[in-house]
């Protein structure tokens, strides 16, 4: 009898004296399960899973259902303890009571010799324990020689695994005891479960090393020991499990190297070794795992460089190497990872530029390169990543324009903060890019300018040298006594000549004019101001300064000083009252 309905079940169902199969699996029924159902002695299968039944199971459930083989009450709201009388249903083969609110101790099911499947996960059950804290109910299950699936995950068992675990049925395929607060070590006898396909002991408080005997589980396809307190190194015996598809040892205290032989386990699809204390390089053989889909080695002390062989992982979907000490370049061959969706290389020491080839990894959803030493610009090719949702290149030494096409319009300033010289849209909280006015262009400009200045200075030095040689030749027959003259400020001359007024003008010549001036100390002098706008005036100033300050002659007046800047040149000469001005133009 199979029903699909809602509401409550009527008590009258219990009046069906020959009912053998009753299933209301996956409906919307609520209320309590009619007690009359548990009195139908002809029932062989009772399935009420995936409903909203509440209440408790009758304590005498095992007294009437003497022919019951299948009892499925999972995914309801049932509470109370599991009746110990259930262990009297000797023909019971499949018992699924998972995902309810059952509490109390787990009964000893050792009397159910035909039991093949026992699922109690997702309740609030505790384990009956010996004084040594061993979980007694597990030991009792060694009598169930046909047991192939055992699930007790998500219950506060709070005990240790007995060594009798190794005496379980040789046909046991699945052992699930995740998040049960199990303590102590993993018994070495676990290696006796040679038919085991799946073992899940994650989220407990297991300590000690991983027993090397685990390598005897040649048929094992998935092992999850994550979230425990396991110590020591990863035993190389794990490489003997040549059917292993999933290896999860994350969140422990494992040290040492990643076994190189793991690269020989070609069946591996998922590897999780993150959040340990591993401190080796990635074994080269890892890159030959061409069917690898998930690889997480984050939060360790792994080092070394990534090889171009990274591109061999064509099926890799998620690669997380964050929070390690990897260095060197990000291989441009990464575009060979055609199926990559999640890439996290953050918090390492990668250097060089972001490879343009990343733009060819079309399925990327998350790309995190933050907290490295990356330089150069953000490749514009990344605009082609249509599915990119999370992007982070903060805390690097990147420069240049932030791409503004594609998915980049959706990112915030946090994706780009703390870099060297990024520019772009105001929404990224970086300076705007004006044409090519970004740092890479500025560096080129500075280098070019420095080279140009060096050339100009070199040419000027040559010209000055030639000029000096010419002056030496002109004055070869003159013996200089003193080539220095007193420096007089323009302000002193301006005041002394009444701002070079015509009333102070004494005369003029080809290259300048001569004014009478009185210096601050009261000395009356003649000031010859050169007209620099005339060709040759500047050279005439240099020549006269050299000659008049270097020689003494009764027909030449003495040079008292000079005033010289880029826009004004003047000689201050001894004032000769009533004398001729011809001496001022001897040169």
Q: Which of 89, 146, 85, 138 is nearest to 114 (CA)?
A: 146
For residue 350, tell me if it sits in a domain: no
For residue 45, tell me if it sits in a domain: no
Q: Which of 125, 176, 170 is nearest to 149 (CA)?
A: 176
Burial class (CB in 10 A: 0-12, 13-18, 19+), 375: middle
Neighbouring C-beta atoms of residue 89, cutoff 10 Å: 23
Q: How many angstroms separate the CA atoms of 30 and 51, rounded?
A: 7
Averaged pLDDT, 470-487: 45
Question: pLDDT tens for residues 1-16?
Answer: 445 567 888 888 877 8
Element (H, E) at 367: strand 366-368
For residue 573, tell me if it sits in a domain: yes
Q: List CB contacts of 467: < 8 A, sequence separation 6 or more.
A: none
Q: Which of 90, 132, 126 is nearest to 107 (CA)?
A: 126
Question: pLDDT tens for residues 541-578?
Answer: 776 766 665 555 555 567 788 888 777 888 888 887 76
Instruction: Give pTM, 2 decimals.
Output: 0.73
For residue 15, tell me if it sits in a domain: no
- Residue 460: the pLDDT is 76
Q: Which of 321, 270, 310 is nearest to 291 (CA)?
A: 270
Residue 472 clears pLDDT 50, i.e. is over it: no
- Residue 478: the pLDDT is 35
Share of the chain above pLDDT 90, in %: 65
- Residue 70: the pLDDT is 97
282-290 contact pairs (CB < 8 A, 24+): 282/258, 282/306, 283/257, 283/258, 283/259, 284/260, 284/309, 285/260, 285/261, 286/258, 286/262, 287/263, 287/312, 287/313, 288/263, 288/312, 289/263, 289/265, 289/313, 290/314, 290/315
Q: How many angstroms separate the CA atoms of 206 and 181, rounded?
A: 8
Q: How many angstroms separate the CA atoms of 112 and 108, rounded?
A: 9
Side-chain half-sphere CA neighbours of 445 within 13 A? 7
Residue 121 clears pLDDT 80, i.e. is over it: yes
Element (H, E) at 564: strand 559-564
Averaged pLDDT, 160-168: 93
> Does residue 405 or residue 555 have the better pLDDT?
405
- Residue 578: the pLDDT is 62
Indicate the pLDDT class of residue 530, thresholds 50, 70 and 90.
Answer: confident
Q: Which of 239, 226, 227, 187 is nearest to 208 (CA)?
A: 187
Burial class (CB in 10 A: 0-12, 13-18, 19+), 201: buried
Residue 106 clears pLDDT 80, i.e. is over it: yes
Residue 101 clears pLDDT 80, i.e. is over it: yes
Residue 164 clears pLDDT 80, i.e. is over it: yes
Q: How many domains does the chain have?
A: 1
Q: How many angstroms separate the CA atoms of 359 and 78, rounded?
A: 53
- Residue 182: the pLDDT is 95
Neighbouring C-beta atoms of residue 18, cutoff 10 Å: 8
Which CATH number fits the domain that encloses residue 539? 3.30.200.20
Q: List CB contacts of 225: < 8 A, sequence separation 6 or more.
A: 186, 201, 202, 206, 210, 248, 249, 252
For residue 581, tell me if it sits in a domain: yes
- Residue 561: the pLDDT is 85
- Residue 323: the pLDDT is 98
For residue 229, tell me if it sits in a domain: no
Q: Residue 511's domain spans which residues?
A: 486-585
Q: Please give the mean pLDDT across all residues of the chain.
A: 87
Question: pLDDT tens for residues 311-353?
Answer: 999 999 999 999 999 999 999 999 999 999 999 999 999 999 9
Quick one: CA dihedral 82, 88, 89, 90, positive or negative? positive
Share of the chain above pLDDT 70, in %: 86
For residue 312, tell me if it sits in a domain: no
Residue 196 clears pLDDT 80, i.e. is over it: yes
Residue 27 clears pLDDT 70, i.e. is over it: yes
Bridge partners (DSSP) listed for residue 375:
353, 397
Question: pLDDT tens for residues 546-556?
Answer: 666 555 555 55
Residue pair 373/350 in contact (Cβ under 8 Å)? The answer is yes
Residue 415 clears pLDDT 70, i.e. is over it: yes
Averaged pLDDT, 41-65: 94
For residue 546, tell me if it sits in a domain: yes
Residue pair 511/534 in contact (Cβ under 8 Å)? The answer is yes
Indicate the pLDDT class of residue 87, thresholds 50, 70 and 90.
Answer: very high
């Amino acid at each position: 009898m199979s029903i699909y309905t809602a509401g409550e079940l009527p008590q009258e169902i219990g009046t069906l004296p020959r009912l053998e199969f009753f299933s209301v699996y996956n409906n919307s029924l609520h209320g309590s399960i009619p007690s009359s159902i548990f009195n139908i002695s002809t029932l062989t299968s009772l399935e009420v899973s995936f409903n909203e039944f509440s209440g408790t199971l009758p304590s005498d459930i095992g007294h009437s259902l003497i022919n019951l083989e299948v009892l499925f009450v999972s995914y309801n709201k049932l509470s109370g303890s599991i009746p110990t009388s259930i262990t009297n249903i000797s023909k019971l083969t499949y018992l699924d009571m998972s995902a309810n609110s059952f509490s109390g101790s787990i009964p000893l099911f050792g009397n159910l010799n035909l039991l093949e499947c026992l699922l109690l996960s997702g309740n609030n059950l505790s384990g009956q324990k010996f004084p040594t804290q061993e979980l007694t109910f597990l030991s009792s299950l060694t009598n169930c020689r046909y047991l192939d699936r055992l699930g007790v995950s998500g219950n506060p068992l709070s005990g240790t695994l007995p060594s009798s675990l190794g005496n379980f049925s040789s046909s046991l395929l699945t052992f699930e005891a995740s998040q049960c607060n199990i303590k102590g070590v993993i018994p070495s006898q676990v290696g006796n479960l040679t038919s085991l396909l799946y073992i899940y002991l994650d989220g407990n408080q297991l300590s000690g090393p991983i027993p090397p005997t685990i390598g005897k589980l040649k048929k094992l396809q998935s092992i999850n020991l994550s979230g425990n307190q396991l110590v020591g190194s990863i035993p190389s015996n794990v490489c003997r499990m040549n059917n292993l598809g999933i290896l999860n040892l994350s969140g422990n205290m494992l040290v040492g190297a990643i076994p190189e032989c793991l690269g020989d386990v070609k069946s591996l699809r998922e590897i999780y070794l993150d959040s340990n204390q591993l401190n080796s390089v990635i074994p080269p053989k890892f890159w030959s795992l061409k069917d690898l889909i998930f690889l997480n080695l984050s939060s360790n002390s792994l080092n070394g460089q990534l090889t171009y062989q990274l591109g061999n992982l064509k099926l890799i979907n998620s690669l997380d190497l964050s929070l390690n000490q990897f260095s060197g370049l990000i291989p441009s061959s990464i575009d060979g990872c055609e199926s990559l969706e999640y890439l996290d290389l953050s918090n390492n020491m990668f250097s060089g530029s972001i490879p343009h080839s990343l733009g060819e990894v079309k399925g990327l959803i998350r790309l995190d390169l933050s907290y490295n030493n990356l330089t150069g610009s953000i490749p514009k090719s990344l605009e082609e990543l249509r599915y990119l949702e999370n992007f982070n290149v903060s805390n690097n030494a990147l420069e240049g324009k932030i791409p503004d096409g594609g998915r980049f319009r959706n990112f915030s300033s946090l994706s780009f903060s703390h870099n060297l010289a990024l520019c772009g849209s105001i929404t990224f909280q970086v300076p705007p890019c004006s044409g090519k006015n970004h740092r890479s262009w500025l560096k080129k400009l500075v280098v070019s300018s420095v080279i140009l200045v060096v050339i100009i200075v070199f040419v000027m030095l040559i010209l000055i040298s030639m000029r000096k040689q010419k002056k030496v030749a002109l004055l070869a027959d003159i013996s200089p006594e003193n080539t220095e003259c007193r420096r007089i400020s323009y302000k002193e001359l301006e005041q002394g000549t009444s701002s070079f007024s015509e009333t102070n003008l004494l005369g003029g010549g080809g290259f300048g004019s001569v004014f009478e001036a009185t210096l601050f100390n009261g000395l009356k002098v003649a000031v010859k101001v050169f007209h620099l706008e005339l060709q040759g005036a500047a050279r005439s100033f240099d020549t006269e300064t050299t000659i008049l300050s270097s020689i003494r002659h009764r027909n030449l007046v003495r040079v008292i000083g000079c005033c010289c800047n880029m826009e004004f040149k003047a000689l201050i000469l001894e004032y000769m009252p009533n004398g001729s001005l011809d001496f001022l133009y001897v040169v």
